[in-house]
A and B are shown apart, each in its own frame.
Chain A
Amino acid sequence: MSLLAPGAWPSSATALDVPAHKDFVATIRAMTRSAAALSDLAVDDVEELQMAIDEAATLLLPLVDPDGDRRLVAEFQIEPADLCVTLRARARRGAEVDRSGLAWIMLTALDPEVVVASEGDDVSISIRRSRSGEGS
């Protein structure tokens, strides 16, 4: 049974804004599990999505500008075909996601189509998971 009936909500867009600190990554994982369950993802997909989001947070936190607002924002968008989660932080000028370490290896193993984007001083990582159980 789908938990998401058409038109059930005015909008599925949800955002979680937490301090950019390692102690709050578990909170983002919990919200990810909740959004994934609302999206009817399979149990394995729920676990993999929360792991991917955790790795995205691990990659973003070192980039955070200590003189900025030091916030980590997770945006959840449940769409008919998939669930998209975007993690965003205000980064130090010129800071880039480390694509050489274990976190990146695991993130791209979980989602080969992960999107890393920069807009002004913001850096974001977006992960999409199909609701049909056929991958992203």
Chain B
Amino acid sequence: MSLPRLGRVTIVSTFQATPQSDLDGRPVLGVKGEIDLASAQALVEAAEAFAAANPGEPVRIDLSDTTFMDSTGLGALINIRNGALERGGELEVTGRSRAVERAFELAGLTDVFGPKGE
């Protein structure tokens, strides 16, 4: 399906969550595109599938290629973190884009997900 575009600006929400491995071979969920009201639930479902496929591993999410995140995206991360804690695990945000960092700052949640670079 071709997407309607305004010049080079995509006017539908883009989101992709893909299980992959980091440089150390550890499983990580790479998230590209925009996390907003339209895609937040898909992120939660992708994280649940990641946790089920990788028992005993932290839920690792790489947000380095996330171009936009709003409060519903933050809410999704909080839900994912709470779910991981309930299972005795944890959420690791292994990378974050500038847009993600700004969303953490605005919501006062930087410390919840660890300082930048951790």
Contact = CB atoms under 8 A, between A and B. Distances in A.
Given A27-B12, A30-B9, A58-B37, A47 B99 contact: yes
Interface string A101-121: 111011001100000000000
Contacts of B108: 105
A58 B34 CA distance: 15
A34 B102 CA distance: 21
A3 to B, nearest CB: 14
A23 interface: yes
Given A26-B34, A58-B70, A106 B106 contact: yes
Interface residues of B, number: 24
B11 to A, nearest CB: 4
Nearest to B9: A30
Contacts of B12: 23, 26-27
B20 to A, nearest CB: 25
A55 interface: yes
A74 to B, nearest CB: 13
Nearest to B12: A26
Given A55-B70, A58-B37, A58-B70, A27 B11 contact: yes
Contacts of A103: 70-72
A107 B34 CA distance: 18
Contacts of A109: 106-107
Interface in B37-74: 37-38, 68, 70-72, 74
B2 interface: no
B75 A102 contact: yes
B82 interface: no
Contacts of A47: 99, 102
Contacts of A102: 71, 74-75, 107
Interface string B89-118: 000000000010011001110000000000
Contact of B38 (A25, A34, A101, A110): A25
5 contacts: A23-B12, A26-B11, A26-B38, A103-B72, A105-B71
Interface of A: 22-23, 25-27, 29-31, 33-34, 47-48, 50-51, 54-55, 57-58, 61, 101-103, 105-106, 109-110
